[in-house]
Structure 1
Amino acid sequence: MKKNYLGRIFIFALITIMAGVLLTGCGQKLTEADVSYGSEITDNVLEGIKDKNYNKFSRDFSDTMKNAITEQSFNSLTGNLNTKIGDYKSKAFSGASKTKKDNKEYTVVVYKAKYTKETGDVLITITFSDNNGKNMVDGLYFKSPNLAK
């Protein structure tokens, strides 16, 4: 029961972060080249999940994200994703935009990913912010039919 509770807290935190960023309105549209850094960082996040390696997963997280997704909640997340959508196979850029919330600028990037247990696409929305010249992950959200069940 505790594991399920932590998973729900984690999902709620991610939805809250993403909703706040996304509901501030669509900002400037960006190309894949504009957010080229996002692909490598997202690969690290997804491979960290696949390998069940928290250090790899959280390597580029902001302090806010590290506090939101602890190693314990990461273990719950990996179990939930593996059960519902399986292993990560590949991703493709879908779109990106810049937005602002509370006078802070964010870059929101969306990828369409393929997983072994999901017949359609898994939408991965990852939000970046600049932290002293380094792009850091400030939000992460997965959406798919199997995850909605």
Structure 2
Amino acid sequence: MAQETVVSDDVKAEVLAYADPIAGNVMQGFNEGNYTIYSRDFSPEMRQALDEAAFEQNREFVTSRIGLYESRTDPVVTETGEYIAVTYRGEFEREDGVALRLVFQKDDPSHRLHGLWFNSPMLRS
């Protein structure tokens, strides 16, 4: 398994140029319960793995525990093998410091989302 390493500031700036708007779309779609906006930047594999029914289930699970999304800060950009991950510190109505992790494939010029996770103590309990 490849080691996860933090990228240089130059690479971070390049990645955030496309990751920030995608994170914005995902979280807007999440808050609105709008799968079309939420999944707009998904890779075909991701769209198949996280279809609209799964989105609705996941959204219900997350909002019932920590509420709606409010903001994100402090992105950390790391790379592992062929993937780049951006992890934000997210604030939700009932919990701060929720890890919002978006994963992209390095060699994908379309910057499609290949992975998406929300993680926090309240989501794990």
Q: Among residues 42, 48, 61, which one is paired with 2:29 in the alignment?
A: 48
Post-superposition offset of 1:97: 1.7
Of 83, 103, 122 in structure 1, the residue corresponding to residue 98 of structure 2 is 122
State the partner residue of 2:13: 33
SS at structure 1 position matched to 2:72? strand
How many residue pairs end up in the alignment? 122
The whole-number CA distance in structure 2 between the counterparts of 1:24 and 1:66 is 26
Kindly report the root-mean-square deviation, in angstroms, between the aligned alpha carbons of the 2 structures. Answer: 1.6
TM-score normalised by length of structure 2: 0.89
Q: For residue 111 of structure 1, what is the amino acid of its counterpart?
A: Y
Mark the CA change 1:85 to 1:30 in structure 2 (over 3 Å): closer, same or farther. Answer: farther
C-alpha displacement at 1:107, in angstroms?
1.0
Query: Unmatched 5+ residue regions in structure 2?
Result: none
Is the Cα–Cα contact under 8 Å of residues 28 and 99 in structure 1 kept in the other structure?
Answer: no
CA deviation after TM superposition for structure 1 residue 85, in Å: 1.0
Change (3 A) 1:141 1:25: same
Taking every aligned residue pair, what percent have the same amino acid on both sides?
A: 30
Residue 91 of structure 1 is matched in structure 2 by: 72
AA aligned to 1:57 is: Y
Gaps of 5+ in 1: 1-22
Query: How far, CA to CA, are the matches of 2:48 and 2:107 in structure 1?
Result: 16
Distance 2:8 2:88 in 1: 13
Q: C-alpha separation between the residues in 1 aligned to 2:43 and 2:21?
A: 16
